[in-house]
Amino acid sequence: MTTVGFLGGGQLARMMALAGVPLGITSSFLDPATDACAGVAGELIVGAYDSPDGLDRLAASADVVTFEFESVPASSAERLASRVAVQPPPRALEVAQDRLSEKRLFEQLGIETTGFLAIDSQQDLDAADRPGVLKTRRLGYDGKGQRVLNGAGDAAGAFDELGGVPLLLEDIVPFDRELSAIAVRGRDGEVRCYPLVENHHAEGILRITHAPAPDLTPELQALGERYVTAVLEQLEYVGVLAVELFQVGARLLANEMAPRVHNSGHWTIEGAQTSQFENHMRAVCGLPLGDVSARGESTMVNLIGGVPDAAAVLAVEGAHLHLYGKAPRPGRKVGHVTVTGGGGWRRIAELAGAPAGTTAAR
């Protein structure tokens, strides 16, 4: 029996561990929270992500280690790699933790992206003198660590307001919609790509994902697959990877990558032949990859801040409720609902307080 160790014990680790159970895969988790929600699915090792004792215990408990999100220290992944196999490789974590490194990787691979400029001081920002989206190079997610500069005067004091840390100024792009490409690469180098999906946000947080993306053309799918495959192969990646994209006509501009299973792939549990969570576990354990084709149309609705009445959710035809065992809190992802087939997702969006008219956001 194989044991997978996880840096992180949140909902992503929980869903991966649960996907591993039917395959005979057990799990262990290193997380600083005593009530980490993945703890119901395996052994919970309580400790900081950079705790030498915690890392050593995680390495001793597992045959292979993976991570559930990209904010864990790359140095921790490197320490683990000296003791046990780590997949995806620590190099992927290092690249994804720095938006400038991401952009340069995209350029190196011929992947079109938004224009960008490294900002290391307020003087750099003043000299740039242009509108854009200002982002911290490291950390920041769900709209955090960002500021939109629309015109003259917006840049004043922005460097210090975002923490006085290295920033990236990205051009504002009038895109048609936001898509994401999710793919999995096995230990043998095989790559399988899920259909591109369309994402909608509110206040910087993903609220709704339509899968496959409406009006998805073979040409657009092929371009998204080329992008994500190039990143997977360059990094000698094993596991699931997501690349967030802006569609501008027939073009796709890479926004950023996530070296892990992704929120926009949660629909795959019911909506694909093999979920992203199972395929990640298959990949890191060296097992054959599963079929990534969609079973039909699906829509995933995030539950943010609180949980609607379960009976009302389950009364919607095709609705599948997933609760993460997390205490409600404003802005916190506490679960999701996937609706397979039909238009019932609109009712779920209403129950979840996610307006059907949310628009894609940077």
Residues 6+ apart with CB under 8 A from 209: 180, 197, 198, 199, 200, 263, 264, 266, 267, 299, 300
The whole-number pLDDT of residue 361 equals 35
CATH of the domain at 135: 3.30.1490.20
Among the residues of 259-318, which ranges form H helices?
268-271, 276-284, 310-314
Q: How many domains are contained in the chain? A: 3
Residue 206: domain span: 177-352
pLDDT in tens, 212-262: 999 999 999 999 999 999 999 999 999 999 999 999 999 999 999 999 999
pLDDT at residue 213 in the model: 98
> What local confidence, expressed as pLDDT, does residue 358 receive?
52
Q: Which residues of the chain have pLDDT under 50?
A: 359-362
Look up residue 183 and give its two tokens.
């793919």
| CATH number of the domain where residue 306 is located | 3.30.470.20
pLDDT at residue 141, rounded to an integer:
57
Which of 145, 170, 195 is the last residue before a domain boundary? 170
Domain membership of residue 107 (yes or no) is no
Residues 6+ apart with CB under 8 A from 340: 270, 271, 295, 296, 297, 298, 318, 320
Say whether both 207 and 309 belong to one domain: yes
Same domain membership, residue 159 and residue 191:
no
Contacts of 338 (CB under 8 A, 6+ apart): 266, 267, 269, 270, 271, 298, 299, 300, 301, 319, 320, 322
Q: Strand pairing of 43-46 and 64-67? A: unpaired
Q: Is 160 within 8 Å of 188 (Cβ atoms)?
A: no
Residue 104 lies in a domain: no
- Report yes or no on 234 lying in a domain: yes
Report yes or no on 135 lying in a domain. Answer: yes
Write the pLDDT tens digit of every residue in 27-56. 999 999 999 999 999 999 999 999 999 999
193 and 328 together in one domain:
yes
Please check whether residues 153 and 188 belong to one and the same domain. Answer: no
Q: How high is the pLDDT of residue 281? A: 98
Residues 161 and 176 sit within 8 Å (Cβ to Cβ) = no
Q: What is the spatial distance between Cα 352 and Cα 346, in angstroms, rounded to a whole number?
A: 10
- Please count the helices (runs of H) and the strands (runs of E) in the chain: 12, 18
Q: Of 170, 196, 212, which marks where a domain is finished? A: 170
Structure tokens at 301: 């609705």
Same-domain pairing of 338 and 249: yes
- Tell which of 86, 104, 128 closes a domain: 86
CATH of the domain at 32: 3.40.50.20
**Within this chain, do residues 121 and 219 fall inside the same structural domain, yes or no?**
no
147 & 196 share domain: no
CB 281 within 8 A of CB 19: yes
- For 245, how many CA atoms within 13 A lie in the half-sphere containing its CB? 28
Q: What is the pLDDT of residue 112?
A: 97
Residue 96 lies in a domain: no
Structure tokens at 91: 């190099």
Looking at residue 288, its pLDDT comes to 98
Residues 140, 223 within the same domain = no
Rg (CA), the chain: 20
Residue 94 in any domain: the answer is no
Do 162 and 257 belong together in one domain? no
Residues 152 and 192 in one domain: no
- Judgement on whether residues 126 and 273 belong to the same structural domain of the protein: no
The pTM of the full predicted model, rounded to 2 decimals, is: 0.93
Does residue 212 fall inside a structural domain?
Answer: yes
Quick one: 319 and 347 in the same domain? yes
Closest CA to 165 of 140, 142, 141: 140
Residue 12, in any domain of the structure:
yes
